[in-house]
Amino acid sequence: MKRDRMANKRKFDEFYYSAENKIVSFDKLNEDNRLLYENKMFCPDCKTAKLGFVVKQDNSYLRTIPPSTHSEGCFYAYEIVPTQVAIEYFKELSPAQIKNRLDSLMRRLCLEKNNCSVVDNCLNEQDNPLLLNINPPTKKKNIKSLREKSVNASFGKEDDGELFVFYGKVKFNFFKQEKNEYAYLQILVKDKRKFSINISPNAENLPQKNKEYFFVAIGFFLYKLHKEKYPAFQIKLSRADSIKWKEIHAEYKE
């Protein structure tokens, strides 16, 4: 059964701005510029459901404006998949299946995000990589949605332990412990350190320093607090191979 995203207590971290045919981060929206975007904000996935800006002192947000509805196959219209169900779902996938899923997620969230027309971006349930049929093939379909979150979005303690599909443009640094016991990738967003991901010390084909990449990963957000009292965000992968990066070439650079 489909429901509006707010029924799932999900927030829109971005929106489709029809006047300029592009995706805009929610963080750029405020009371001073709201009239610029008013009546021009739509669901960032299907681009058909109209959104409104609700202003509250402690928690402003975007919501779907009735009677506007999301298109078939738009992941914002479905209930969030329970975390344990998602873990079991991905555990059963073969390496080839998880690779295909990541390839599809990268196309939808990175390569095509600002390059699709409204019609092109309205996929059906089967084509949307953010939707999962959690029932066995012999039973009636039960479609649930993964949660996506741009690396440019705001993260906080309320996200701690939550499962997301992370995506965006990033740079990487690779660090390995001296005794070769562990290693991690440091992820930089707009040249600022934001996340780290533990990986195998023997990992091959690592991203190169100072190059920009499209990035997708399925994993858990972990909020940590260091002695210096600044947040150090970590991503714990749902499985070791649930991460993908692709070097950004000239046609995709801003």
Q: What is the CB-side half-sphere exposure of residue 142 using CA atoms within 13 A? A: 13
CB 215 within 8 A of CB 166: yes
Task: Please provide residue 195's backbone torsions phi and psi, each rounded to the nearest 5 degrees.
Answer: -135, 165
CA dist 105 and 148 (Å) reads 10
Number of neighbouring beta carbons within 10 Å of residue 5? 26
When pLDDT is averaged across residues 93-112 and rounded to a whole number, the result is 93
Task: Please provide residue 175's backbone torsions phi and psi, each rounded to the nearest 5 degrees.
Answer: -125, 135
CA dist 228 and 89 (Å) reads 38
1 band by pLDDT with thresholds 50, 70 and 90: very low
Number of neighbouring beta carbons within 10 Å of residue 128? 23
Predicted confidence (pLDDT) per residue in 135-147, tens digit: 988 889 999 999 9
Q: Could you tell me whether strands 192-199 and 231-237 are parallel, antiparallel, or unpaired per DSSP bridges?
A: parallel
CA dist 182 and 195 (Å) reads 16
Task: Please provide residue 184's backbone torsions phi and psi, each rounded to the nearest 5 degrees.
Answer: -150, 155
Token duo for residue 18: 């029809």
Predicted confidence (pLDDT) per residue in 7-27, tens digit: 345 789 999 999 999 999 998
CA dist 198 and 234 (Å) reads 9
**Amino acid identity, residue 251?**
E
pLDDT at position 253, please? 57
pLDDT at position 24, please? 92
- Cα–Cα separations (whole angstroms), residue 119 to 64, 116, 122: 19, 8, 6
Number of neighbouring beta carbons within 10 Å of residue 155? 19
Strand partners, 222: 234
Q: Find the DSSP H helices in the chain.
A: 34-37, 83-91, 95-106
Residue 240, pLDDT above cutoff 70: yes
CA dist 84 and 163 (Å) reads 10
252 band by pLDDT with thresholds 50, 70 and 90: low
Residue 165, pLDDT above cutoff 80: yes
Strand partners, 93: none
CB 187 within 8 A of CB 170: yes
